[in-house]
Amino acid sequence: MATPVLDKAEAEGRAASPYITVTFRIRRFNPEVSAEATWQDFQVEIDPRERVLDGLHKIKWDLDGTLTFRRSCAHGICGSDAMRINGKNRLACKTLIKDINPEKPITIEPIKGLTVLKDLVVDMEPFFQAYRDVMPFLITKETNEPTRERLQSPEDRERFDDTTKCILCAACTSSCPVFWNDGQYFGPAAIVNAHRFIFDSRDEAGEERLEILNDKDGVWRCRTTFNCTDACPRGIEVTKAIAEVKRALITRRL
Amino acid sequence: MSTTETNASGVSPVEGGYSVDNPAPVIEPPRLRTKKTPRSTRGNFEMYGWLFMRLSGVVLVVLVIGHLLIQLVLDGGVSKIGFAFVAGRWASPWWQVWDLLMLWLAMLHGCNGLRTVINDYAERPNTRLWLKGLLYTATVWTILLGTLVIFTFDPNIR
């Protein structure tokens, strides 16, 4: 965008630098050094229009190479860099520094409810186990190989459109207070991904998935605190999806 | 760009003598899901429990607010309550049924609510077992005692 306005801002920027000093307060844990997790402050000069992930990169590349965190695509698609930024689960690559008050130190912690392995890296295995347990793949009862595409009307596709957006970043599940205290709960992400197939007109195993989520650690443990909906970086209405699974269970069982 | 560790207790090679070959234990959150997580309950108990909480809650709003109004607000307030007042009310089957329904619904509603709290917060299986045992005993005892009193109430007792 080469508008005159932007040029002017840039010209001014030469006199007054857009860079500001931001304090990143990061929760550090290294089991090879200490059993204790501690806070460490880094001061970084950064343009506030950059993202938290850029700040982490500057720290890792220029200040302290031992800082450990996950990130893959760095553009909000892969879901690797969910972390607890200023007490809220977000993707570091979708959070602009100017949006989270850079005047104060920005706290960065690993997501809660999963085992911290090092710094911001957690063991995602229990999260993916819950995901696998809801059978997140198309199941049909046909025995023959399909000879043509499985067609679907736009209305049928629209029914589960919201839950197809999930990138499995675990921001929702690790913001859920029930999951923090009891990892046996499936968690919002697994229910969202079950919802994606339960309400897909092409899938024929909705009943089995509903039965799995009717379990004592299934949808009925949801307390509708809406933490998951607030946390979702993709804007999925997670609590609504869980409520729809509950309603489907009630209407089909009664 | 500058780095200043305002927090002097950053990760530093000290206490415990942990090393690459001898790492510190990681802290696992309670009750992690694994491949072996039992896919136990078949049946609709949790669903009926969830439905019961909603339905009994709606009924209890009417029952409890009505109860509080009658007992504490209308017709002289709390000072009117005495043996004679209770005896007079329980002479009518309507108030017997009202109180019986309130007793059962409130006790079961509260019991199920506490059961979910225990499920959420008690981590060790033994803690769960004992807390729930205590809860169920208290609930059954209160319901039985209350029911007994409502049905066998004798206004002429001395």
| Domain regions of chain B by residue span | 44-152
**Closest residue by Cα to residue A74 from A56, A86, A87:** A56
Task: Write the pLDDT tens digit of every residue in A218-245.
Answer: 999 999 999 999 999 999 999 999 999 9
Contact B20 A32 (CB under 8 A): yes
pLDDT band at B6 (very low <50, low <70, confident <90, very high): very low
Check which CATH number belongs to the domain holding A41 and give it. Answer: 3.10.20.30
Sequence-separated (6 or more) residues with CB below 8 Å from residue A56? A24, A67, A69, A71, A92, A108
Contact A214 B120 (CB under 8 A): no
Nearest-CA distance A84 → chain B (Å) = 16
Task: Write the pLDDT tens digit of every residue in B115-152.
Answer: 999 988 888 889 999 999 999 999 999 999 999 999 98
Query: Which of these three, A62, A87, A122, is where a domain ends?
Result: A122
**A238 & A175 share domain:** yes
Give the range among A32-46, A208-222, A232-246, B30-44 with minimum mean pLDDT: B30-44
Q: In this structure, is residue A11 part of a structural domain?
A: no
Q: Average per-residue pLDDT in chain A?
A: 91
Nearest-CA distance A245 → chain B (Å) = 12
Q: In this structure, is residue A184 part of a structural domain?
A: yes
Contacts of B7 in chain A (CB under 8 A): 25, 38-41
**Closest residue by Cα to residue A249 from B143, B139, B37, B46:** B46
Check which CATH number belongs to the domain holding A233 and give it. Answer: 1.10.1060.10
Q: Which two tokens stand for residue A247?
A: 């309603």
Count of pairs with CB atoms under 8 A, one residue in A, one in B:
137
Q: Residue B9: what pLDDT?
A: 46
Q: In this structure, is residue A246 part of a structural domain?
A: yes
Full domain range(s) for residue A247: 125-140+149-253
Class of domain B44-152: mainly alpha
**A116 & A235 share domain:** no
Q: In this structure, is residue A10 part of a structural domain?
A: no
Number of Cβ within a 10 Å radius of residue B66:
12
**A135 & A113 share domain:** no
pLDDT band at A38 (very low <50, low <70, confident <90, very high): very high
Domain count along chain A: 2
**A91 & A135 share domain:** no
Chain Cα centroid distance, residue A117: 18
The answer to whether residues A135 and A212 touch, using CB atoms and an 8 Å cutoff, is yes
Contacts of B30 in chain A (CB under 8 A): 181-183
Model confidence, pTM: 0.85
The answer to whether residues A140 and A203 touch, using CB atoms and an 8 Å cutoff, is yes
